[in-house]
């Protein structure tokens, strides 16, 4: 009987996954730009899932196109602001629409957008409040990873903030806010072995991945743990190679069927930039996500005069400093090849 139950459960899960794929695929619409983009082996196309992201989007697109990203796919998830209008104003950008709720379909929205548009090369996954910084440069990193047979690169989210009165910081423009948002802490970090079954809630999705270098750790906690009592997971497979056998996103933080590179990159994370409490309040009111992180931050920040004071604050000095501090990692081979 247990065997029959397991078989029946497996069939049910596969049918459910098939129905979800059909539902998500049918809800996509091409709004702007090419529907197919072929990438070279040392090129990356970016996918960002965005809803009402007009405050971040110009800086996000400009940063990543300057970084060397070959193309960007913006998946608009039902924005009511100027997100689509802004995205249409950039070269090398495709805009897809899909209004299905991200809290239920996030993984498929991102993965199917990548698989539908990109051929070859690599896919970079990032949120609109994340700016990737790649030790040694994006193209050298992709050439190195490809030459070594790696099919994924882990990105570490570094939470940045403007210390002090958050009410005063809320009125800054995006450009001024991101420039001022340069303080971080390494306190409160937990460094997990890649296959840490006890500490990684999504370890099941990592089970078939190969991570041969023990120096590559997955991180959680950090600034938001110390200030708000959250327990955010800070690591994700940010770069994933578009080759057979690789599933580009099976969980919001990881891909499956990959061989993980012996070097990590940084995602400057601006969750706490600008009027972040207004964004959190809107997210809570709209029930955008099932997790309680936004509500926890609102409760912890309290009144308008909330003063953010990270323990042992450090100032952003680039990826070289993060390698020296142990937030990022590169093997000896990667350091030598990439000139780190």
The angle, 0 to 180 degrees and rounded to 10, between the axes of the packed helices 276-286 and 293-301 is 130
CB atoms near residue 45 (< 10 Å): 25
pLDDT of residue 103: 86
Assign 283 a pLDDT band (cuts: 50, 70, 90). confident
Assign 16 a pLDDT band (cuts: 50, 70, 90). low
- Report in angstroms the alpha-carbon separations of 276 from 109, 178, 338: 25, 12, 36
As a whole number, mean pLDDT of residues 143-148 equals 98
Tell me the domains of the chain and their CATH numbers: 24-128 (3.90.550.10), 129-340 (no CATH)
pLDDT of residue 298: 84
pLDDT of residue 193: 97
pLDDT of residue 304: 67
Phi, psi of 311, deg, nearest 5: -70, 145
Assign 145 a pLDDT band (cuts: 50, 70, 90). very high
More confident residue, 114 or 288: 114
Interatomic CA distance for residues 211 and 216, integer angstroms: 8
pLDDT of residue 317: 97
Most confident of the following: 162-171, 281-290, 307-316: 307-316
Picking from 15-24, 181-190, 304-313, which range would have the lowest pLDDT averaged per residue?
A: 15-24
Phi, psi of 128, deg, nearest 5: -65, -20
As a whole number, mean pLDDT of residues 264-269 equals 98
Interatomic CA distance for residues 152 and 257, integer angstroms: 9
DSSP H stretches of helix in the chain: 2-27, 57-67, 83-88, 102-117, 138-147, 166-169, 174-180, 223-228, 276-286, 293-301, 319-325, 332-338
Q: What SS3 string covers 34-47? A: CCCEECCCCCEEEE
> What are the structure tokens assigned to 214, written together?
């023990």
As a whole number, mean pLDDT of residues 153-181 equals 94
pLDDT of residue 290: 63
Mean pLDDT for the chain overall: 93
Q: What SS3 string covers 246-298? A: CEEEEECCEEECCEECCECEEEEECCCCCCHHHHHHHHHHHCCCCCCHHHHHH
Q: Classify burial at 264, counting beta carbons within 10 Å of its beta carbon; exposed 0-12, middle 13-18, buried 19 or more.
A: buried
Assign 168 a pLDDT band (cuts: 50, 70, 90). confident
Is the sign of the CA dihedral 232, 235, 237, 238 positive or negative? positive
Most confident of the following: 227-231, 282-286, 292-296, 303-307: 227-231
Contact, 95 vs 31, CB < 8 A? yes
As a whole number, mean pLDDT of residues 87-114 equals 94
Q: Residue 119: name the closest of 47, 238, 42, 36 by CA.
A: 36
Interatomic CA distance for residues 192 and 152, integer angstroms: 18
More confident residue, 25 or 267: 267
Q: Is the pLDDT of residue 8 over 80?
A: no
pLDDT in tens, 19-72: 888 888 889 999 999 999 999 999 999 999 999 999 999 999 999 999 999 999
Interatomic CA distance for residues 299 and 123, integer angstroms: 36
Q: Classify burial at 16, counting beta carbons within 10 Å of its beta carbon; exposed 0-12, middle 13-18, buried 19 or more.
A: exposed
Assign 303 a pLDDT band (cuts: 50, 70, 90). low
As a whole number, mean pLDDT of residues 202-219 equals 96
Q: Residue 55: name the closest of 173, 215, 167 by CA.
A: 173
């Amino acid at each position: 009987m247990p065997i029959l139950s397991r078989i029946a459960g497996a069939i049910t899960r596969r049918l459910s996954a098939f129905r979800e794929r059909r539902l998500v695929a049918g809800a996509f619409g091409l709004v702007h730009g090419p529907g197919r983009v072929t990438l070279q082996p040392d090129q990356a196309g970016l996918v960002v899932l965005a809803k009402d992201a007009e405050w971040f989007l110009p800086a996000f697109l400009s940063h990543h196109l300057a970084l060397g990203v070959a193309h960007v796919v913006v998946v608009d998830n039902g924005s009511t602001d100027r997100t689509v209008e802004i995205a249409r104003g950039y070269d090398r950008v495709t805009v897809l629409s899909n209004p299905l709720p991200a809290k239920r379909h996030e993984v498929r929205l991102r993965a199917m957008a990548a698989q539908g548009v990109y051929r070859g090369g690599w896919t970079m996954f990032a949120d609109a409040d994340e700016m990737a910084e790649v030790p040694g440069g994006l193209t050298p990193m992709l050439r190195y990873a490809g030459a070594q047979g790696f099919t994924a690169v882990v990105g570490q989210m570094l939470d940045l903030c403007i210390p002090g009165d958050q009410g005063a910081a809320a009125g800054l423009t995006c450009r001024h806010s991101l420039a001022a948002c340069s303080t971080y802490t390494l306190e409160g970090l937990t460094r997990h072995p890649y296959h840490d079954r006890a500490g990684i809630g999504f370890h099941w999705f990592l089970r078939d991945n190969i991570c041969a270098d023990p120096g590559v750790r997955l991180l959680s906690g950090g600034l938001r743990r110390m200030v708000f009592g959250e327990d955010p997971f800070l690591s994700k497979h940010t770069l994933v190679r578009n080759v057979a056998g690789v599933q580009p996103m099976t969980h919001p933080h990881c891909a499956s069927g990959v061989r993980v590179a012996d070097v990590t990159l940084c995602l400057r994370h601006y969750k706490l930039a600008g009027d972040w409490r207004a964004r959190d309040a809107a997210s809570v009111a709209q029930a955008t996500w099932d997790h309680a992180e936004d509500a926890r931050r609102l409760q912890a920040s309290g009144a308008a005069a909330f003063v953010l004071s990270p323990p042992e604050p450090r100032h952003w000095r680039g990826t070289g400093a993060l390698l020296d501090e142990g937030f990022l990692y590169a093997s000896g081979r990667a350091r030598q090849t990439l000139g780190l």
